Chains A and B, each alone.
Chain A
Amino acid sequence: MSADTSTMDSTERTRALLTTAEPRRRRVDRAMTVLIWGAFALAMVPLVSLLWTVLFNGAGRISLEFLSYSMRGIFGGDPSGGIYHAVTGTLIITGWAALVSVPIGILVAIYLVEYGRGALARSVTFFVDVMTGIPSIVAGLFAVSLFTIFFGPGARFGFMGAVALSVLMIPVVVRSCEEMLKLVPNELREASYALGVPKWLTIVRVVLRTSVAGLTTGVLLAVARVIGETAPLLVAVGVTDSINFDAFDGRMMTLPVFIYRQYAQGLATCREGQEGCVADIALQNAWGAALTLIAIVMILNIAGRLVNRWFAPKLR
């Protein structure tokens, strides 16, 4: 009988132990869960509002014509014309910037991860961090000064903008790619060396191949970082309302600059009853271009993800 009671006792004791509410800890845990959900909800308010504003204001302007014509010869409240010149300009300039920055950026990341020892590596790491802080307008001024030396004061062409963007882009590429390369386990490299593969081939075939998903993400983040830059392009590339495919001759329009110019232009003058005149057409154009720019970034992101899926080795 006494053994029975002791069993009962110990069961009850255990039950007490296992069901202890410990109200304070549970409250803290609850509170933090609520807080974290709250942080998320709070952040979603402006971000959703932003996306909604752009979508709401921009969607009405998007049409085939808007996407396939330039603004050449369009002025005042004329609602025709479009952003084709700015879309191509953005893609070309960003493309050149990527073409310059991505190889350099990845090579620097390789240097830092695979070779970097000593003072040079330390200073490269530090100054890459510093470079992330270069104000974008300073990068633009730098590009202008640089090209003025070679082409005289009037030089304005797409590649100048690409150089300015590269100055902004390279550190981002380096930083993110460096992190990604560091994640490649050393065992893989050693396994490759042990098979007699030379170091450069190991880097190209093993290290880069393994981290290709991360590298793509890094590059896309860097592209996204610069594709929306306004100030340096305004200074270095100028503006135009016509299509220009040649990055080495003549001004180019880009979407961010277009947005800012259209916003700054304000209302158009429309006489009473004038047909085909929309007073706030410039603002509509700005929102439409903003939506297009976001869509381009989104497409690049999706493309990047697809690249990942095709090339990334199946690690898990």
Chain B
Amino acid sequence: MTTTDSPPAPAAPVRRRRSSGDTERGFSRTFRWIATGSGALILATLAAVALFLIVRAWPAMTASSAELADAVPRYPDDTSFLAYVGPLVFGTLLAAVLALLMATPVAMGIALFISHYAPRRLAQVLGYLVDLLAAIPSVVYGLWGIAVLAPAVGPVWLWLNEYLGWFPLFAGGASPTARVLATVSVVLAVMILPIITAVSREVFLQTPKLHEEAALALGATRWEMVRTAVLPFGQSGVISAAMLGLGRALGETMAVLMILSPGFLYSFNILQAAQQQTIAAYIALDFPEASGLAVNALIATGLALFVITLAVNMAARAIVARRKEFSGAN
């Protein structure tokens, strides 16, 4: 064995690419992969949920209407699957949109009140109260709806029906028990009010002082300042907040289930019993006793709800994106 004590061969000069990818070494690179992996995991989870929905819904969507009518309770005879889901989609949208129409202006009012009108101490307490209300479980809203709200609004609905019955929403006979969509919409509105308020309030508070002062310095009254500086700045945030609220209203199960007298019609009579039903409540109502194809049909309605939510989100994004150029963010 001959050992030559030669110096180690000079290492070939390493040429590093001076790209951004190389500035992350060691754990930084690992960290990037962990974060990216989490992002991918979200997609995988959602794909799994969607896949699950589609696989379980598929038998119902492809079955003949005769088979469905046989297996699924409440399935109208000789109708397509769409005719079966249609009234449910209609009822879901009607309840949620009514709730949104009631809640959004009020929520914006409260948000402005907290961010720009109320004395600072009071505003803090109110902000806290609103956060707390966002956390009240829907079962409790349901209990409250039955025990307190329905008896309270019953006479109001009767009055509306009697004197404003010509208006399509108030037509039909008013229910004596007030277990109708109007009551449900009010409960949903109360329920989503804290969410919309909480998000809008945060956005309004973020309005740059600069813009508020610019408006005031031009001789704007407080409301004019809100109109010129705060509302335009918060517009996209309020839309997001409303969509968040709409999402919760669309998917709300327990409160609707406990309050509404369901029906399966395309009906705008929100004071009349047994006219509409929402998808989530329908699933919860019939799922316990469902078996076989009926389960598939229920999950197919769940898929419909999923698609509605998807569409709503896409619409909201489109609206926000169109206004992006003029948005307050820079």
Contact = CB atoms under 8 A, between A and B. Distances in A.
Chain A–chain B contact at Cβ < 8 A: yes
Interface of A: 25-26, 28-29, 32-33, 35-40, 42-43, 46-47, 49-51, 53-54, 57, 104, 107-108, 110-112, 114-116, 120-121, 123-124, 126-139, 141-142, 145-146, 167, 170-171, 174, 198-201, 203, 221, 224-225, 227-231, 235, 255-256, 259-260, 263, 286-287, 290, 293-294, 297-298, 301
Contacts of B244: 132
30 contacts: A36-B112, A36-B117, A37-B113, A40-B113, A49-B144, A50-B140, A50-B141, A50-B144, A107-B34, A107-B38, A111-B38, A114-B35, A120-B43, A127-B42, A127-B46, A134-B309, A135-B306, A135-B309, A138-B302, A142-B53, A170-B42, A170-B45, A199-B23, A228-B135, A228-B139, A256-B137, A259-B137, A259-B139, A259-B143, A290-B137
Nearest to A258: B139
Interface of B: 23-28, 30-32, 34-43, 45-46, 48-49, 52-53, 56, 105-110, 112-113, 117-118, 126, 128-129, 131-144, 147-149, 186, 190, 193-194, 197-198, 221-224, 226, 244, 247, 250-251, 253-254, 258, 279-280, 283-284, 287, 299, 302, 305-306, 309-310, 312-313, 317
Contacts of A115: 32, 35-36
A134 B258 CA distance: 21
B138 A230 contact: yes
Given A29-B224, A230-B138, A133 B247 contact: yes
A33 B112 CA distance: 10
Given A124-B39, A134-B49, A230 B137 contact: yes
Contacts of A42: 106
Given A50-B136, A235-B287, 14 more contacts: A29-B221, A32-B226, A107-B39, A108-B35, A111-B39, A128-B42, A135-B302, A137-B287, A171-B42, A225-B134, A225-B135, A229-B137, A259-B137, A286-B143
Given A47-B190, A135-B279, A231 B253 contact: yes
Contacts of A256: 137, 139
Contacts of A116: 39
Contacts of B306: 133-135, 138
Contacts of A40: 109-110, 113, 118, 126
A105 to B, nearest CB: 8
B313 A130 contact: yes
A39 B224 contact: no
Contacts of A38: 109
A130 B140 contact: no
B321 to A, nearest CB: 11
A127 B43 contact: yes
A266 B309 CA distance: 35
A135 B305 contact: yes
Given A36-B109, A108-B35, A200-B28, A133 B251 contact: yes
The 5 closest A-B pairs by CB, nearest first: A228-B137, A39-B109, A133-B309, A224-B135, A200-B31
A298 B126 CA distance: 14
Contacts of A132: 244, 247, 313
Contacts of A135: 250-251, 253, 279-280, 283, 302, 305-306, 309
Contacts of A301: 128, 131-132, 135
A227 B23 CA distance: 43
